[in-house]
Structure 1
Amino acid sequence: MIVTLTANPALDRTITLPAPLAPGEVQAATSSREDAGGKGINVARVIAAASSPVVAVLPLADDDPYRVPLEAAGVPTRAVPVARPVRANLALTDQDGVTTKINLPGVALSADDVAALTDAVVAASEGATWLVLAGSLPDALADTFYVDVARAVRARWGAQAPKIAVDTSGPALRQVVAHGAPDLIKPNDDELAEFTGAALDPADPAGVAEAVARTIVPAQVASALVTLGSAGAVLVTANGAWFCPAPRIRVASTVGAGDSSLAGYLLADVAGGAPEDRLLSAIRYGAAAASLPGTQVPSPADLGGESLTVRSL
């Protein structure tokens, strides 16, 4: 069982344009779609599509239209009732897969909402293998929220607590690294650069990603999966580091590709895969997601068969 927490879910609206976005101009769209989004929900959708057990925890009003695409995705949920509907995000994608995103602020959560959400995660984590804490935090939540949730889960379940994966950025990521002792973090290259304050070298993104990850693995973080977009991804653990290039694909939308990479990693892990297998699965799922429109998530049938080589760093 994998449990995901999405504190800041979003109804993702994706509009496909036949040409690059032209600010200030009127453009006709070729298609549009709506998906239940938010990083933790995206991870849960991929896991559900692979027929693997998952439960998604999120704040959600009883009459929220978000429930329609969420139920259509077939994701088992544990919803914490709140007063307001979730935010809506807009993604504009052109024919080359270049995506412009407009993200609205999240729903404000009260102190009672936060307590109920934490309690729901703790309860759902009973017997789970992984707990995924993913996405941005609504403005009302403290930067330490993911740290607080991790501590609550570990305090309740002790040695039986699930491993904890975190996919966030900015102050929330810094707090998790400093105080959360996560089993896995999954930054992308931009988030890693923001974390360190220095851009990755485009001539050797894998080497620099490994070097940066080594400053926190394993002292503060057990492992790090760093996605590098079209360059591939790097996995760093206490026992080694590996790089896998991304396959060549026709990009439809990059929205949610990183979430699918994390889901692919976790699916391989619960199946008993070695580090190389987990990294390869992450790459295949991320690439499959990028080849699909909007925030449509890949299933095992969407994974490419191109031969990829994982190498040690």
Structure 2
Amino acid sequence: MTRAVTSASVPGAGSAPPGSAGAVLAVLNALDRVILGKSAQVRLALACLLARGHLLIEDQPGVGKTTLAHALARTLGLEFRRVQFTADLLPADLLGVSVWDAREGTFRYHPGPIFSQVLLADEINRATPKTQGALLEAMEERQVSEGGVTRLLPEPFFVIATQNPAAYVGTSPLPEAQLDRFLLTVTLGYPDPRAERALLETGGRAGAVRDLPAVLGPAALLAAQREVDEVYAAPPLLDYLQLLARATRGHPALVGGLSPRALLGLLGAARAWAFLAGRPMVLPEDVQAVFPALGAHRLPPRDPGARVGEILARVLAETPIP
């Protein structure tokens, strides 16, 4: 099979994108020094942010989910807050509440922790569906409505939610429609022996995260997001996206296929991956790199015991590149 999408098809495609690309790569390098042995997951997390999406991390406690979220916020110079989701967490605890001010004779709004640039929603599937829905609505609309007043969330706004395995006690799985609000899903897993030994010798990475300097900053991040929007996707590349979507929609091992919204998300994530690679155009390998993370939580297998990652790998292998 040959690729119709080549760097020669775009003027200036041989050089790296201008602007914030170098600083973003410095962010990646800083994160790799703290999140040991997880370069692929770190790159996916940053690509998710650059594509203006939200990230879901599915894993057991203690493998570095909070460390990744905090380190990302530190290196980007963003305000970071963490909310521990529990069964008694109310929507108002997250979104904020209006309280009567007797002196002023009016209600005064007290914003909740969702008004931050990076929000870690820790163990989101331990909260009730009502609280989950309040967060996910704010993620989609990027605003909070309370007391008849609509308040915009800050820019950039990035939610990293962690989810415990369904077998854990006290979990309420997210419905498919809510899972679709997350652009990508990653799993950190156990560290490799070399990274684990480094953790043992240094006593963990909490101190290293606190010492991380801000490499980028909010304004530069917003500029990088705009540059990602301009990464070129040639018509044959769009053909490839549609072929992948069609392959998932008719696949006998999957319950459903990629929606148009998911397909737009796939394009955005592939643009961000190409940007991180220093290219001003999307290649099929960029799509292939982010496709498993985009499809893992959207495409449940018909057989509960099947591994969706293996099914998605077959979809990629069997879909021709135009």
TM-score by length of 2: 0.29
Larger Rg: 2
Larger relative strand fraction? 1
Of structures 1 and 2, the one with the larger relative CO (CA 8 A, separation 6+) is 2
